[in-house]
A and B are shown apart, each in its own frame.
Chain A
Amino acid sequence: MADDYEKGVFELVRAPLEPAALQARVAHPSCGACACFTGSTREQNRGQRVVRLEYEAFEKMTGPEMERIFERCRAEQPAARLRMLVAHRIGVVEVGEPSVVVAVASPHRAEAFAACRFLIDELKRTLPVWKKEIYADGAHWIGDRS
């Protein structure tokens, strides 16, 4: 029976992410495979020691844009049964904490791996979220090219 996870569920979260709990939500007796990607904040970047990160989002757009990403993901594998959940942190994230979790369950592993990879790659390309690295002596918005 279809539920929200087959369409794809997205959450912006202000508290620490728990990958195991998120992964458990997409599990289903019909699914023998679950691929779960966790992205965490690095202690070093651009040769500098990162003190913490701050994530900002265009919150009103994140839901609609993630819906479009889920749609593109389903279109990539129209025959596959996919159960998808994406959770992204917002606000201050300490070094070493998960900032994003992508969990996909499917009857077989190839479809789950492919969808998980597609979702993280596409959200990094188009989801309106920005990461600011705070160093001991400054800060930098990642991706800024002006």
Chain B
Amino acid sequence: MDLSLQLFAALRERAGRPELRLSGLAEGLTVEDLKRALERAHPELGSLAHVAVVVGTSYARAGQKIGPGDELALLPPVSGG
């Protein structure tokens, strides 16, 4: 399964681009699996321990499975206001 992820703020700057693609991922991987795969494939992002995964326009729940075609985004800790 191939996935692409939108990046924001510090993550976008660290990656040097607004979107990342990952390929060859197992079907049924969870949000946590995805973060581990990203940390291995893109060490330039740094630790993703405090990074939230968004599917569509909602925060993913812990253990939520990612499917092909999901629109994904990685959010560093928010700092609005």
Where the two chains meet, the residues of A that have a C-beta atom closer than 8 Å to any C-beta of B are: 39, 55-58, 60-61, 63-65, 88, 99-100, 120, 123-132, 141-146
Where the two chains meet, the residues of B that have a C-beta atom closer than 8 Å to any C-beta of A are: 6, 8-11, 13-14, 45-51, 54, 57-59, 73, 75-81
User: In the assembled complex, how far is the CB of residue B24 from the closest CB belonging to chain A, in whole angstroms?
Assistant: 25
| Cβ–Cβ contact A146 & B46, under 8 A | yes
| Cβ–Cβ contact B78 & A126, under 8 A | yes
| Cβ–Cβ contact B81 & A130, under 8 A | no
Closest to A57 in B: B80
How many residue pairs link A and B with beta carbons under 8 A? The number is 86
| Residue with the highest number of chain B CB atoms closer than 10 Å, among A58, A63, A131 | A58
| Residue with the highest number of chain B CB atoms closer than 10 Å, among A127, A142, A145, A146 | A146
| Cβ–Cβ contact A124 & B81, under 8 A | yes
The CA of A9 and the CA of B75, in the complex, are separated in Å by 24
User: In the assembled complex, how far is the CB of residue B48 from the closest CB belonging to chain A, in whole angstroms?
Assistant: 7
In the complex, which residues of chain A have a beta carbon less than 8 angstroms from the beta carbon of B9? 56, 130, 132, 141, 144
User: In the assembled complex, how far is the CB of residue B61 from the closest CB belonging to chain A, in whole angstroms?
Assistant: 14
Other A-B pairs, 8, CB within 8 Å; known A130-B8, A143-B76, A146-B46 = A125-B78, A130-B9, A132-B9, A141-B13, A142-B79, A144-B10, A145-B49, A146-B14
